[in-house]
Amino acid sequence: MKTSFLGKKSKTIKKSGKNLLDAISRVKENINHGTDIWNVYDFMHLDKNKIPALNVLEISIPSKSDFMIESKSMKLYLNSFYNKSFNSKTEIIKKIKNDIQSKIKTDIKVKFINSFVKEPKFFDLNNSKLKLTPPKKIIKFNGFRSICPVTSQPDFASIYIFSDVSINISWLKKYLISFANHGGFHEQCIELIFKTLKNEISFNHLEVCGRFQRRGGIDINPIRGTHNKKLFVNFREFNQ
């Protein structure tokens, strides 16, 4: 996959504004419902009096979009707001929405947030001694690792799965651990997990969520499911 900025030195980048955004084609999977939630923890801008303001921004991009934004380019773009003055947060949201939508050709959601939803109650996959997961419960696997396919740097996450049927615990643990040296972007990893589970087991309701650790002040959290109404929202294991 060819990218404009990932794996390149920032000082060689000459673009500015929305031209910093690098739209890359999304590999379309046969998954009906999903979204990618980006949390931007260090979004700085200037208010109307040119005083710096630091906030947390949430960007939600539908998984059905033809394009997605490469993460380094998103960071460069959002970091460019640090010396720009705006009259209101509404003005900022409108600009970010318009800039990103012009690149990926899909409607997105953007908002400022003050807190995260609490982590849902879950069945601890890592430490369970059972043979099967309980049906209709949220399952959590802590310590997921994958590799960026461009930089070869590791990414870490907790994986949350809702299943309306039981899953063999030994098989599921081994499968999730097998990603430790797998090269794939966050979105691709979650889609692969979803597809594998769906192909292995007969579900009526399945939803997979990856809560990835932040990099460069941003985390990306893909959700893929069988239902339009998602169980997983923008929660965190700890709020900080």
pLDDT tens-digit map of 190-236: 999 999 999 999 999 999 999 999 999 999 999 999 998 889 999 98
Statement to judge: residues 212 and 124 lie in one domain? yes
Report yes or no: 44 and 81 within 8 Å, Cβ to Cβ: yes
Determine, yes or no, domain membership for 62: yes
Domain endpoint, select from 68, 93, 113 = 113
Statement to judge: residues 68 and 89 lie in one domain? yes
> Is the pLDDT at 3 greater than 80, yes or no?
no
What CATH number has the domain bearing residue 45? 3.30.1130.10
Q: Which position has the higher pLDDT, 11 or 127?
A: 127
Lowest mean pLDDT among 8-12, 161-165, 213-217: 8-12
Statement to judge: residues 124 and 213 lie in one domain? yes
167-181: per-residue pLDDT in tens?
999 999 999 999 999
Give the pair of three-digit tokens for residue 65: 């979009």
Determine, yes or no, domain membership for 38: yes
The percent of residues in the chain predicted with pLDDT above 90, rounded, is 84
Report yes or no: 152 and 168 within 8 Å, Cβ to Cβ: no
Statement to judge: residues 108 and 181 lie in one domain? no
Statement to judge: residues 128 and 207 lie in one domain? yes
Q: Which of the residues are catalytic?
A: 148, 155
Statement to judge: residues 137 and 196 lie in one domain? yes
Statement to judge: residues 168 and 153 lie in one domain? yes
pLDDT at 27: 82
Burial of 206 (0-12, 13-18, 19+ CB in 10 A): buried
Residue with tokens 């509404």: 90
> Is the pLDDT at 15 greater than 90, yes or no?
no
Determine, yes or no, domain membership for 8: no
pLDDT at 129: 95
Statement to judge: residues 106 and 143 lie in one domain? no
Statement to judge: residues 155 and 76 lie in one domain? no
DSSP 72-135: HHHHHHHHGGGG-B-S-HHHHHHHHHHHHHHHHSS--EEEEES--EEPPP-EESTT---SBPPT
Determine, yes or no, domain membership for 3: no
Statement to judge: residues 190 and 226 lie in one domain? yes
Determine, yes or no, domain membership for 155: yes
Number of compact structural domains in the chain: 2
pLDDT at 4: 55
Determine, yes or no, domain membership for 177: yes
Statement to judge: residues 125 and 139 lie in one domain? yes
- Domain with 92, as residue range(s), is 18-113
CA distances in angstroms from 189 to 93, 152, 208, 220, listed in the order given:
29, 15, 10, 12
Confidence of residue 5 (pLDDT cuts 50, 70, 90): low
Put residue 173 in one of left, alpha, beta given phi > 0 → left and psi -120 to 50 → alpha. Answer: alpha
> Is the pLDDT at 12 greater than 50, yes or no?
no
Determine, yes or no, domain membership for 7: no
Domain endpoint, select from 54, 80, 113 = 113
Q: Is 170 helix (H, G, I), strand (E, B) or coil?
A: helix
Statement to judge: residues 205 and 122 lie in one domain? yes
> Is the pLDDT at 39 greater than 90, yes or no?
yes
Q: What is the mean pLDDT of residues 147-158?
A: 94
CA dist., res. 139 & res. 96, Å (int): 35
Determine, yes or no, domain membership for 154: yes
pLDDT at 224: 96
52-94: per-residue pLDDT in tens?
999 999 999 999 999 999 999 999 999 999 999 999 999 999 9
